[in-house]
Structure formats: structure tokens, C-alpha cells
Structure 1
Amino acid sequence: MSTHINFRRIVKLVRVVEENPRVKTFWFKDALCSKAKPGQFIMVWIIGVDEIPLSLSTIGDLCSVTVAKVGDATEAMHRLKPDALIGVRGPYGNGFKIVKGRVAVVAGGVGLATLLPLVDKLKDYGCWIEVFLGFRSKHDVFQLARVERAVRPNGAVMIATDDGSIGFKGLVSELFEMHLKRSKPSYDVVYTCGPPAMIRRVYELCEAWNLKIQASLEAYMKCGIGICGSCCIGPYRVCKDGPVFSAPHLRKMPELGLYKRGPDGVKIPV
């Protein structure tokens, strides 16, 4: 087996878990992925279909990616069963920087998957963790027990749903803003991942409240190694300069949460 991140390795799926009707977690073993940092991503080849970027949702002897069914490639991946083969390259990107102290984690939808290894690591460092989770409804919630274990004994988990079926009714960014106004917490850093509009709002709140932020961004990618330029946002390539960015970088991304790039590189309103 190759020991270089840019060479594709063929791995067997050990386990496939249905988290909810739209989201599945795929478990596999890979030596290079087991050494990844929270926030890094891999390029996953669904054989005969396409290659797509996916963040690692578990890092260890067994690794995993958690995938929402949103297009042809992810639909094909959702049809895979244990013992099926996929290809992986990576891990790529810069990952999150661990900050000790009191931290907030703001996750929107399947963006939680990217943040799960981070939450595990923050627990290992003894951080006081407050997690804000946003979902469409109670039926979309996943990995809640894992998050709740990680924040014990001092932290908290707060949930927002669009329909109010569990927790706060509204956007997770609204829940986070309400908490800032009511409690005025002194976070050492805010970590976030989710839909671009959510990330933009969390970033704006962090700027207003003078809070440090680390945001993991998603983008359409072809190569994953900084060559093709398909994932550019502002002056940065998400695959090479990110996918995790802090405030000085986010300030140079005026299109964040307003536009995304399609396969042809054309900006598309979001």
C-alpha cells in the first residue's frame, strides 16, 4: 500500500451506519487517515462514478466519513454496503488549531461531521465546550450522544431546528446570537462548519463580539491539491490554503455565503 497522501489507496468499507434518512457514515481502515488532524479532508473515489472531497468524521484505528445524499456521487455512495471498495487520497488541508480554554462549536447540518473529531480532541485537552447544533428537524439529528459525552462535565449542547421539533425554533446562528446577548460568554475561540450563509453569520457575530474564529469551508473541488483552482474563494484555494480559515482570511472573502462556484468556475448565488 502506498505511503504517500497523493496516491489513491483502495480500502474496504468495514461498516455502514444510517444516521438519518439523508445521512450515512462509512467506516474504513487506512494508515494515513488514522494520522489526520481534525478538520482535514480526503478525496473519496466512488469507483466508476466520481471523486469527491469529504471531511473525516472519525480519526483513529478505524476512520469514517459522514455523507449527506445530495447528488449523483453521494447517492451512489449511499448504495454501498459493507465490504464494498472505495478509493481514498489524502488527508489534505490545514485542519483546526486546538485552543485550550472555553470554546464554542457551531455546527449546521452535516457540517457537524467535520467538527466531531475536533470535539473529541477538545475533550482530551480538557476544554470547556459549548456546542450549538442546527438541523432542519428532530429527524435530521445525528451523533448527538457522541457530542454530549464530549462536553461533559462542564459544557453544554444547545440545539436549533428550523421547525422547532426539538430545541430552539430557528437557525443555529440565531440561537448562537441569542446566547451571546444573554450570557456574554468569553470564548477563547469559536469553531464552525455548515452551510456558507450560516458560516458568514457566525463570522459576523464573532467580529461584532471580538471573538476569534476558525471556520471550515466547503467548495467544489476537482483535484484537492491546489492545482485546478476550482475551489477558489477570495484569494484562497479551499483545498490548499484551507479548508479551515481564521478571521484575517475570512475578511478577504466578500462572497462568502453569497456565492459559490459550480463545476465550470462560474459564481452561483446561494
Structure 2
Amino acid sequence: MVEKQTVINKPAPARILEKIQETNRITTFQFAVPGVQPVPGQFFMVWIPGVDEIPMSVSGMDTERGIYEISVSAIGDATRALCAKNPGDLIGIRGPFGNGFNLNTGGEAACVIAGGVGMAAVRPIILDFLKRGKPLVVINAARTQKELLYHAFFEKNLVLETSYFTSTDDGSCGEKCFGHERFSRLLDGNRITVGKVYTCGPEIMMRHVSMVCEKHGLQLEASLERMMRCGSGLCGLCAMDPSGLLVCKDGPVFDGSVLKTLTEFGNYARDFSGKKIYFKK
């Protein structure tokens, strides 16, 4: 019998314990939430008092001590307000919500591909695999070297150009290309051998990653992002076309077989009014 996960359904006050400036735009916050045990890929609904409540992937987890992390990119009113907070300030936490990643790779090496702040969602996979000594390849993509999330940690704990690869839009670190292009070249050049792929980042990138995985017969799991209010499947704001699968409840992690059925994947998302916003290709 599977033990039911404890979920906080009303915002629980959580005091910020630590604030880390990862890049110019991305900040990591550490806080304590006793009594919950999120798994890699799940998210919290984070309440910024007087501003808004937003979904944030759990980017770090110490389940024994009940201490968790989120990494926030300051791109909107709520995230900017959150990034302005400091240790000692209070936020509200609900969750954890959603389905996480399946960390069973069948004994084969895994490849984690992330772009920008998308690395936050897949970081717990990397930390878990490193802790257990499981074979792993990481591809970190961003616009510039300064925007490569957790870059210093990966350089220290992985082997550059062997188990850790980078790509940047301007060529300031690694190859001048997108993350999916680096992934494809590494496979085609027989520089990496993997059986399963985990990805999060710009959806256009993830769509291309899915096509590369299909070409090479690789398992894939991707973490998607959509507008949401409730986090628990009630509001329907994050429903995906054409099936109505909910990112907050059925996702945010979907495997390759499901992604192929989602006509909006890699094409568009919806704003709070339900209007389609097409991705720039």
C-alpha cells in the first residue's frame, strides 16, 4: 500500500532562512516546512503577502530536517516582490503539489537538460543521483555564462566536457547553441550514452529535446509550466489541449508518450484570460 503524501492546503507561514543570489536575475530562498516530503519535480504554491500566490518548483530538499529551497527568476510583479525579501521575512507555503519525476532509469545513465531557470526543477534529480553515485550527464543552457544556474556547483561536482556540458546563446561558455542542439550533437558524435532524459526550460527547447529523444529511442520526462491559481486541479486554468490534462495535478511532469498527445506542447500556452499565447520560434 502506497503511503499517502502529506499536503498543506492552506498557506503555512514559513520564515526565510537563507537567501542566495545565484545570478543577476535568479535568487534561491531556503525555508523550513515541517511535516511534508516533496519529491523531485513537485512544486509549492508560494504566497507573497499582499502581492500574489505563485507556483514554484522545489529546487532543493532536505526532507530529514524539513528544509527546502526554491530558485526564483525576477520576471513579474510577484517574483520581483519575492526576490526583494530577505532572511527573517515571512512567506506562505502550500503543497507539495503535482506528480514528480520517476528516478528509475533501468540501470542506464541519465541525461538532464535544462535551460535558464528551468534548471531549478531538475536540480533535485541531479543532487539525488550524485548522492547515490548513479551515472549522470548534465547539459546546462542559458543566454550567457553569467546566467548558467548552479554553474559553479556543477563544475566542482561533475567533469566538464565529460559529464557536464554547457551551451550559451552568445558563446561565452561552452558551445554557441541551444541546449537541445548541444544534446543532439553529443549523441550524434557518440560522446554520451544515456537511456533516459529529464528536461525543463523554454518549451521550444523541450519540444526539440523530445524530437531528439524520439529519433534516438530514449525515454523522456519533461516538467511543464502553465498559469495556475489553485495548484490542486480545481480552477482548470492549467488544462492542456486537447485532452484537458492539468499541469498542476496530472503534471507538471509528463513522459514522452503523453507529450506527443498534447497539441499545445511547444506551440502555445494560455494567459489568465484563456487567450492563446504562441511561443516565438
* Same fold, TM-score > 0.5, yes or no: yes
Mapped contact 1:55–1:65 kept (Cα < 8 A): yes
Matched, 1:133 2:133: no
Q: CA deviation at 1:4?
A: 4.2
Check if 1:238 corresponds to 2:241: no
Asked if the contact 2:43/2:55 (under 8 Å) is kept, the reply is yes
CA contact (8 A) 2:113 2:140 kept: yes
Structure 2: gaps of 5 or more residues: 1-5
RMSD: 1.7
Instruction: Give the equivalent residue in structure 2 for 1:256.
Output: 265
CA deviation after TM superposition for structure 1 residue 232, in Å: 1.3
Q: TM-score scaled to structure 2, two decimals?
A: 0.91
Could you say if the C-alpha distance between residues 32 and 252 of structure 1 is closer, same or farther in structure 2, counting changes exceeding 3 Å?
farther
> Structure 2 residue aligned with 1:114, among 121, 131, 149?
121
User: C-alpha offsets along residues 219-253 of structure 1, whole Å, 9 cap, x if unaligned?
Assistant: 11111001111111232100000111101110111
CA distance in 2, matches of 1:246, 1:16: 33
1:96 alignment partner AA: F
Q: Return the alpha-carbon distance in structure 2 between the equivalents of residues 214 and 195 of structure 1.
A: 14
Question: Deviation at 1:152?
Answer: 6.2
Q: What is the aligned partner in structure 1 of residue 86 from structure 2? A: 81
C-alpha deviation, 1:97, in angstroms: 0.6
How much has 1:180 moved relative to structure 2?
1.2
Q: Does 1:181 pair with 2:188? A: yes
Cα separation, 1, equivalents of 2:35 and 2:56: 15
User: Which amino acid in the other structure matches residue 64 of structure 1?
Assistant: E
Superposition map of 1:27-46 within 5 A: 27-33=30-36, 35-46=37-48
CA change 1:4–1:212 in 2 (3 A) is closer
Structure 2 residue aligned with 1:95: 100
Hey, what's the Cα distance between the residues in 1 that align with 2:100 and 2:35? 15
Name the CA distance, whole Å, in 1 between partners of 2:76 and 2:136. Answer: 34
TM-score by length of 1: 0.94
What secondary structure does 2:231 align onto? Answer: coil
Report the CA distance shift for 1:152/1:126 in structure 2 as closer, same or farther (over 3 A).
farther
Aligned-partner SS, 2:100: coil
Structure 1 residues 153 and 23, CA gap change in structure 2 (3 angstroms)? closer
Flag structure 1 segments of 5+ consecutive residues without an equivalent.
none
Post-superposition CA distance 1:64-91 (Å, at most 9, x none): 1000011000011111111010000000
Aligned length: 267
Structure 1 runs, 4 residues or longer, greater than 6 Å off: none
Q: Residues 161-240 of structure 1: matches in 2 within 5 Å?
A: 161-183=168-190, 185-234=192-241, 235=243, 236-240=245-249
